[in-house]
Amino acid sequence: MNKYTTEYLQSSLLNYYSSFARDLPWRKTKDPYCIWVSEIMLQQTQVKTVIPYYERFIQKFPTVKALSVANEDELLKLWEGLGYYSRVLNMHKASKMVVNDFNGIMPHTSTDLLKLPGIGLYTAGAIASIAYEERISAVDGNVHRVISRYFGLSLTKEALVPLMDEILPLSRIGDFNQAIMEIGALICLPNSTPQCLSCPLKEHCVALSSNSIDTLPLKPKKLKRTKELFTMLMITDDDYFYLQKRPSKGLLANLWEFPLLEGHLSIDDVSKHLNTFDYFNLEIQPLPNTTHTFTHKDWDIIAYQIKINKPHLIPGLTLVSKDDLKHHYTLSSLFNKYQEYYR
């Protein structure tokens, strides 16, 4: 790196951002709370998906104090469809900390922001630089890709952070960080699809000139995936479903689900399991099998619909009307898609 290529990077990105930045609702404010909400929603989620969720969320909970007193089930329902529900649960915890430990005012520094649940180095840097112009970088996958290719660096995302802090401009820190993200999201795309001819950095991009775009950035080692087997039971009569709530920690924490049993069970096994609750006139029908993918594991699920002639009290399960399920109970996409099979 030299001073010229760094200054070219800074000026090119800021000029590009001034002219071509997308018109996004969270870019119309410097409110750190709104920026925080948008950054959390944008994790693992596309911008076009986030926009309506963001607008509904801010309308319902316009301040960190409003979020701190929200009902958890209401929060989960509002988040339904975005996935990665631990994000909103951590936001809820963090909002209570802001109210209790920071007098209801979002922390003004990245150091204090890092004290909040669910906020890591990237999110703290994004909020602090955009809302407060703190001179700190925000390195996500997009930034890692753009900077690695521009300078021709084989560094991990973590190793890139101190370098990014050095090449920040003296002003418009938030715009600079967002400009790199913008280039990574729209132009410097992953794999073999970058739009190099449209890139404002093409004149001095090392990866482009050395034909090494496909090898940069340095990719982390993939963790070995595991598979877990489950049997899902959609127990219904004409008007009700039976649900159970997942534990407060772990995958799909605090969400509701149709009863899930470990292993792949046959119809006979399911019948024996349900008869322990003294059911009558059980009708068991197979439903399509599915696989649900998490970050480092897969759930391989076989499913059955169980019709009963009248509701019963079942230990550990909650009887929920179809209308209540639609409006008040949050299921992950895994379980939501099975409702279409109800008949």
Query: pLDDT tens-digit profile of 25-47?
Result: 999 999 999 999 999 999 999 99
Q: Give the phi and the psi of residue 243 in degrees, each rounded to 5.
A: -125, 160
Would you state the pLDDT for residue 179? 98
Which sequence positions are flagged as catalytic?
39
Would you state the pLDDT for residue 314? 80
Would you state the pLDDT for residue 45? 94
Q: In this structure, are residues 243 and 317 in contact, taking their beta carbons and an 8 Å threshold?
A: yes
Topology (CATH) of 226-341: Nucleoside Triphosphate Pyrophosphohydrolase (3.90.79)
Residue 277 has pLDDT above 80, yes or no: no
Give the pTM: 0.90
Q: Can you tell me the distance from the alpha carbon of 238 to that of 131, in angstroms, rounded to the nearest whole number?
A: 52
Would you state the pLDDT for residue 42? 97
Would you state the pLDDT for residue 281? 65
Tell me how crowded residue 175 is: count the other CB atoms within 10 A of its CB. 19
Q: Once rounded to an integer, what is the mean pLDDT over residues 58-69? A: 98
Name the pLDDT band for 276 (thresholds 50, 70, 90).
low
Domain 3-215, classified CATH 3.40.1550.10, yes or no: no
Q: Once rounded to an integer, what is the mean pLDDT over residues 253-263? A: 94
Q: Once rounded to an integer, what is the mean pLDDT over residues 224-252? A: 92
The 10 Å CB-count burial string (b at 16+, else e) for 97-129 is ebbeeeeeebbeebebbeebebbebbbbbbbbb
Residue 279 has pLDDT above 70, yes or no: no
Residue 316 has pLDDT above 80, yes or no: yes
Domain extent listing, the chain: 3-215, 226-341
Would you state the pLDDT for residue 310? 75
Would you state the pLDDT for residue 232? 96
Q: What percent of the chain has pLDDT over 90?
A: 79
Q: Once rounded to an integer, what is the mean pLDDT over residues 164-191? A: 96
